[in-house]
Amino acid sequence: AQTVTQSQPEMSVQEAETVTLSCTYDTSESDYYLFWYKQPPSRQMILVIRQEAYKQQNATENRFSVNFQKAAKSFSLKISDSQLGDAAMYFCAYILWRNEKLTFGTGTRLTIIP
């Protein structure tokens, strides 16, 4: 079975500091996409960042960046200069090229300490 593991149920970080959320996944496929989604208290799931497995370069979006290690099947999210609005549940997910179904991890709840 394809799985996504987020080993940190909860994390906290001081405002303006940097935090890294970890994610590992298990697939025998070579063509896939990886995502981090954010779910704030409003419940609206928002895409934070996406990574194509065939790209070696790590994706970045403003204060958000990933560390993609394909051989280790690891996909961590780094949030720099943390802001109060970053407080949310963060979900790691992937989709296989061949079947187009998103598989999610169990989530990490991030708290920002003022």
Partner 1 sequence: DVKVTQSSRYLVKRTGEKVFLECVQDMDHENMFWYRQDPGLGLRLIYFSYDVKMKEKGDIPEGYSVSREKKERFSLILESASTNQTSMYLCASSLQMIQPEAFFGQGTRLTVV
| Contacts with partner 1, residue ranges (CB under 8 A) | 4, 6, 9, 33, 35, 37, 42-47, 50, 91, 93, 95, 97, 100-107
Distance, C-alpha 94 to centroid of its chain: 10
Question: Residue 35: what residue type?
Answer: F
Residue 5 or residue 74: which is nearer to partner 1 going by CB? 5
Residue 16 or residue 46: which is nearer to partner 1 going by CB? 46
* CB neighbourhood size of 73 (10 A): 16
Contact at 8 Å (CB) between 21 and 77? yes
Residue 49 or residue 79: which is nearer to partner 1 going by CB? 49
